[in-house]
Structure 1
Amino acid sequence: MTSWTLSGFALVAASALAFTAAPGAAQHWNGTVEETAQGFRLGDPDAPLQLIEFVSYTCPHCAHFEEESEAELRYLYIHEGYAALEVRHLIRNIADVAAALVTECGETDQFFVNHRIMMHEQGNWLARARELAPSQQARWNSGTLASRMRAIASDLEFYEMMEPQGYTVAELDRCLSDEARADQIVAASGANAAEFNVQGTPSFVLNGTLLDGVHSWPQLSQVLLSERENMSTSTE
């Protein structure tokens, strides 16, 4: 369970007081998930703020963004219909591929739950990765894709991590063995990075424009707040 500091709650509360009536207030958009051509989108597909997040599961800054942004972004922007968030994978290494296959495993509406778990547990499984002997990590880079993915999932305890969500070893193995999907994830990662000239993670595209120099929640929240204020002004 996430613990919230008093200062963090105060920030969210202050922002909430500043909000005008939301575009999609009649519907709670925080439960609306759709698979897109390049990733997974949470929220109103017609929201005025269309946000894309490029994420690597082995990027500590991405996990930090998830922790810092979760309350305000998901419940004040997405839930109320101001913004939609599309997560796209940016693959940096073989462990990213395995993590992406795990987060995508199951029904579409499970993706953001899995994504949150993968990020919140990142510190634990990255620590396990650093403790592996070279002979163990060698299994990640030889053999069939299925055997490599299963080795990563076993070494980093992805099976145990996903078990409370109802996943069985057999179900995860099927997802980890999906070579066609793995190829699609890697191809989409390269195409997306090239299209928007993404240099690192997390990076953000807002309404089709890369937010240059914005890589954290404090930076992004200022951009979103400014955009929301502009929306309010234009409707007066």
Structure 2
Amino acid sequence: MTINTGILKALALASAVPLAIAAGAADKPILPGGNWAGMLTETEGGHLFGNPQAKTKLVEFMSYTCSHCAHFAQTGDGAIKIAYVPTGRISYEIRHLIRDPVDLTAALLTQCGDAKKFGGNHDAIMYRYDEWIEKARTATRAQQSRWQFGSLSARLQAIASDLDFYDIMERRGYTRAQLDKCLSDEAQARAIAETSAADVRKYGLTGTPSFILDGTLLDAHDWNSLEPQLKKAL
């Protein structure tokens, strides 16, 4: 999905929480063992699946409000984790591209609590994409007003309520109090947005999903165009 700067400006949360795109990363030291399929490492701005010291590194920049990203999450995401990550030869990192307040709400929720829960949280949000994005498209003026005015936490909580994010995350075992705490974390919201903006500048990102393979931005935006390049790299 192409980045629409007009939408970003129209939906800007506040000057204190700049909206931009994506997140950066810095690998943590490798952990002992070789169960790469089940290893999830929190990075500085993202979450890395597999061997943190893999020779080949794939990074996906994704947006929760992007239909193409949702499709990739339901196709390529699983294929990478099943066929490539377990070998230990390639790592797969997911970073956020923040395009609007709905994106920021989802990003904060997927990162809520234990970092090891990110994978399941991410999948839960993305697999119900069609349901909640339709609610976003048909939101009333009253709902949109609640999303744009008031404190940051009040706005994000309104989005979470109107789009059934609370329901999705409560099914994951979270309490309403835990979720509200995460949605009230302005420092985390700012960090996500600022890292996002930095990566847009660094990599020249113009749409979602975008993929970086070993530091190079690929001409690939879906699984059909990405897989041949992964095979070639390996």
Scaled to the shorter chain, the TM-score interval is 0.7 to 0.9
Does structure 2 retain, via aligned residues, the 8 Å contact 1:28–1:80? no
1:96 aligns with 2:84: no
* Structure 1 SS opposite 2:112: coil
Q: Which residue of 2 aligns with 1:220?
A: 226
Q: Match for 1:169: what amino acid?
A: R
Does structure 2 retain, via aligned residues, the 8 Å contact 1:39–1:86? yes
Distance in 2 (CA, whole Å) between partners of 1:124 and 1:221 is 28
Structure 2: which 5+ runs fail to align? 1-32
Q: Match for 1:65: what amino acid?
A: F
Q: Which residue of 1 aligns with 2:13?
A: none
Q: Deviations over 1:87-134 (max 9, x none)?
A: 111111110000000000010111111111111111110011122111
Higher relative contact order (CA 8 A, sep 6+): 2
- 183, 187, 206: which one pairs with 1:180? 187
1:55 aligns with 2:62: yes
Q: Match for 1:99: what amino acid?
A: A
Distance in 2 (CA, whole Å) between partners of 1:97 and 1:89 is 9
Q: Match for 2:98: what amino acid?
A: I
Structure 1 runs (4+) deviating above 3 angstroms are none
Distance in 2 (CA, whole Å) between partners of 1:151 and 1:205 is 34
> Cα offset for 1:72?
2.0
Distance in 2 (CA, whole Å) between partners of 1:38 and 1:161 is 23
Report the RMSD for the aligned CA atoms in angstroms: 1.0
> Cα offset for 1:32?
1.0
Does structure 2 retain, via aligned residues, the 8 Å contact 1:62–1:201? yes
Aligned residues: 202
* Structure 2 SS opposite 1:165: coil
Alignment of structure 1 residues 38-77 onto 2, 5 Å: 38-77=45-84
| Aligned sequence identity (%) | 44
Q: Deviations over 1:133-164 (max 9, x none)?
A: 11111111111000001000000011111112
Does structure 2 retain, via aligned residues, the 8 Å contact 1:95–1:152? yes
TM, length-normalised to structure 2: 0.84
Structure 1: which 5+ runs fail to align? 1-25, 229-236
* Structure 2 SS opposite 1:50: strand
Q: Which residue of 2 aligns with 1:87?
A: 94
Q: Match for 1:163: what amino acid?
A: E
Q: Which residue of 2 aligns with 1:11?
A: none
> Cα offset for 1:83?
1.2
TM, length-normalised to structure 1: 0.83
> Cα offset for 1:223?
0.3
Distance in 1 (CA, whole Å) between partners of 2:94 and 2:78 is 17
1:141 aligns with 2:128: no
